[in-house]
Amino acid sequence: MLKGVLAFVAVIGSVLGSQERYTYNGELWKREIDLVDYGKMDLMKTWSDWIQYFGKEYSSVEEEYKRFGIFLENLQKIALWNTDSSNGASLRPNQFTDLTNEEFVQYVHGKNGRCISEVNRPRFIIGGGHKLPTSRNKIPDSVDWEAAGKVTPVKNQGNCGSCWSFSTTGSIECNYAIANNELNSLSEQQLIDCSQAEGNEGCNGGEMDDAFKYVIETGGLCTEEAYPYIAATGKCKDSSCGPFYDPIVNYTNVRKQDEQALEEATALGCVSVAIEANQFAFQYYSSGVLTGECGTNLDHGVLVVGYGTEDGQDYWKV
């Protein structure tokens, strides 16, 4: 594999000409690289910079060599993707570039390879007690609850299959902020540690509707600060983490296989959804609109925070 990748680089370099071949730029790998960028890289120095930037350490020379080969292969795939303008979205190297796709899925989805429970219901869920419109009223052409200041900054779930908890808190935070003009960052760790009775399995997966049930029963959640995230399943501390915030009274299922219903729900607030995220583009997404097949093997809980149209392409903001 390593020889094949290095041979590929040599071909690109010859096309660019000897003056530009292996022109090193330490910041180049941080960009949405294409094949021209790839051909200019000094790959050993790029690897060294990437390791230092993300604080990577390996157990042996053999392990580092293996990771270097995977890193080169992923750089090449990213460059090929970005060179093809038909893809729409652009990708960029990140902290996962030394992982295979299978390893990445295991890292973010837990030991079961999915952080949504096996029940895997093909539906969308909205939290916060909103009722969906009974008729198809006119809705805005675009909505962006993040831009409106109703969404907390993106959080990092780390090496724990807890996506369902982040989708849940995101939905409740957003919808409560819309209704009360108060944005609180809620504790995912509380859901991970304390909602097993409702059917969730901590870092081994769960479902947003089971998490909503817990929040209804408890009357809200502690804040992120009071019950901080540790990316592991721990002992429940909901009796000592302080006051609960953002109570909800119910949750509502969006009509199955109905995008207009999802638009209507998103016009009211943020919506918890499940997607098939075990695809290469999700591992390295940087900007633009992802097009193509979304997949139906739902394995990851996320949050729809808006929708709109960009350059004639309709999109969901997730």
Helix (H) or strand (E) holding 272: strand 271-275
- The CA distance from 95 to 115, in Å, is 20
Token look-up 């079961």 returns 112
Q: Can you give the C-alpha Rg of the chain in angstroms?
A: 22
- The CA distance from 270 to 149, in Å, is 12
What are the Cα distances from residue 101, in Å, to 37, 108, 274, 276, 280? 23, 11, 19, 13, 7
- The CA distance from 4 to 45, in Å, is 19
Query: Which residues does the annotation mark as catalytic?
Result: 157, 163, 300
- Residue 286, CB-side half-sphere exposure with 13 Å CA sphere: 17
**Distant-in-sequence, close-in-space partners of 220: CB < 8 Å, separation ≥ 6:** 244, 245, 246, 247, 248
CA 54 to mean position of chain CA atoms: 19
